[in-house]
């Protein structure tokens, strides 16, 4: 069903296709021998023009656990891009060696452009401040595992909502589910982009904005924390002024629901205090592991081994 398909934006796959990936990921999680060696002989190219730890390593772990192999670069300085090679030529080259490509770029639209030049599936691992659909699969799968289903939820997004591609992707994806309510929590300078708000409006999703995390906490079923991203700012003074706008600590956790789920795409800087890690509602490290299972399911599907 998904064999040979690229994933550039969250809605490239239907809701039914997305849910089928989650069912597959649950099978893999429950039995790690399931699909072992199913991708033997398959090769994944990882093209990371921007730093990454979790996304890159989880994709590499996913293909290796499926019995496949990977090649690529984690630093554009080690690629021919420094010599002036175009993205199109880099992608054509990688597609001639590999069965699928995972790519991260600081430029919006780069993944879509890559998919137009690639003869193999392209998976968007983040393109600037635009989208990060495989992180969205991770986030949705985590919510499903910890809440049982993805519906009838109030979800809070806190922090950098202007540049946060994980926020944009997840908000867009949640708009397809039943009875979802969203609260956006950010400083005035980092509010959610208008195009995301428009998508929620068209889908009939109730949403509101606040500048106060404590005000929103008692209402939330899921809290999605994000860091203020230094690399997205042109002015360091603005970054310094805003980076400590919202910090989740034990005092704020105390006014949250008993079954609250706290997520974070990571890395964190100081927006979640370390003492919160001991709270059973803090799920961001579980989220990282669930991401590996979600990416294993995705790779198995697009490579056509299931």
Residue 148 covered by a domain: yes
293 and 259 both lie in a single domain: no
73 and 95 both lie in a single domain: yes
Asked whether the beta carbons of 306 and 23 are under 8 A apart, the reply is: no
176 and 297 both lie in a single domain: no
Domain around 238: 134-288
Residue 240 covered by a domain: yes
Under DSSP, the state recorded for 93 is H
41 and 93 both lie in a single domain: yes
- Annotated catalytic residues are 54-55, 83, 104, 132
Asked whether the beta carbons of 154 and 206 are under 8 A apart, the reply is: no
How are the residues of the chain apportioned to helix, strand and coil, as percentages rounded to the nearest 5? 45, 15, 40
258 and 150 both lie in a single domain: yes
Evaluated on CA atoms 257, 259, 265, 269, the torsion sign reads positive
79 and 92 both lie in a single domain: yes
Per-residue model confidence as pLDDT tens for the chain (306 residues): 899 999 999 999 999 999 999 999 999 999 989 999 999 999 999 999 988 888 999 999 999 999 999 999 987 665 666 556 899 999 999 999 999 999 999 999 999 999 999 999 999 999 987 889 999 999 999 999 999 999 999 999 999 898 888 999 999 999 999 999 999 998 888 899 999 999 999 999 999 999 989 999 999 999 999 977 555 445 566 556 555 567 899 999 999 999 999 999 998 888 999 999 999 999 999 999 999 999 999 999 999 999
Radius of gyration from C-alpha coordinates of the chain: 19
Cβ neighbours for 185, distance < 8 A, ≥ 6 positions apart = 156, 157, 158, 159, 209, 210, 211, 212, 213, 216, 246
Exposure of 261 in the CB half-sphere (CA atoms within 13 A): 23
152 and 259 both lie in a single domain: yes
CATH number of the domain at 62, please.
Answer: 3.40.50.1370
């Amino acid at each position: 069903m998904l064999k040979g398909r690229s994933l550039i934006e969250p809605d490239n796959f239907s809701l039914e296709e997305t849910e089928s990936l989650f069912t597959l990921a649950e099978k893999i999680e429950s039995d790690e021998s399931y699909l072992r060696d199913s991708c033997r002989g398959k090769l994944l190219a990882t093209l990371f023009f921007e730093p990454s730890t979790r996304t890159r390593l989880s994709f590499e772990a996913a293909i290796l656990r499926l019995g496949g192999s990977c090649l690529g670069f984690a630093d554009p300085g080690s690629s021919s891009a420094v010599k002036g090679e175009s993205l199109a030529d880099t992608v054509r080259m990688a597609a001639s060696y590999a069965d699928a490509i995972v790519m991260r770029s600081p430029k919006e639209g780069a993944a879509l452009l890559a998919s137009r030049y690639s003869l193999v599936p392209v998976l968007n691992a983040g393109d600037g401040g635009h989208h990060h659909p495989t992180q969205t699969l991770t986030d949705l799968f985590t919510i499903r595992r910890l809440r049982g289903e993805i519906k009838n939820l109030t979800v809070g997004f806190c922090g950098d909502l202007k540049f946060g591609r994980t926020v944009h992707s997840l908000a867009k994806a949640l708009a397809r589910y039943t009875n979802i309510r969203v609260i956006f929590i950010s400083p005035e300078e980092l509010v959610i982009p208008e195009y995301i708000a428009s998508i929620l409006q068209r889908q009939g999703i109730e949403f509101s904005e606040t500048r106060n995390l404590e005000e929103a906490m008692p209402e939330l079923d899921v809290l999605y924390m994000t860091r203020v991203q230094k690399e997205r700012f042109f002015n360091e003074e603005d970054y310094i002024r805003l980076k400590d706008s919202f910090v989740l600590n034990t005092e704020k956790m105390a006014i949250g629901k008993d079954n609250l789920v706290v997520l974070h795409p990571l890395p964190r800087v100081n927006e979640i205090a370390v003492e919160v890690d001991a709270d059973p509602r803090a799920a961001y490290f579980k989220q990282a592991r669930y991401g590996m299972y979600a990416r294993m399911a995705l790779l198995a599907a697009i490579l056509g081994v299931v």
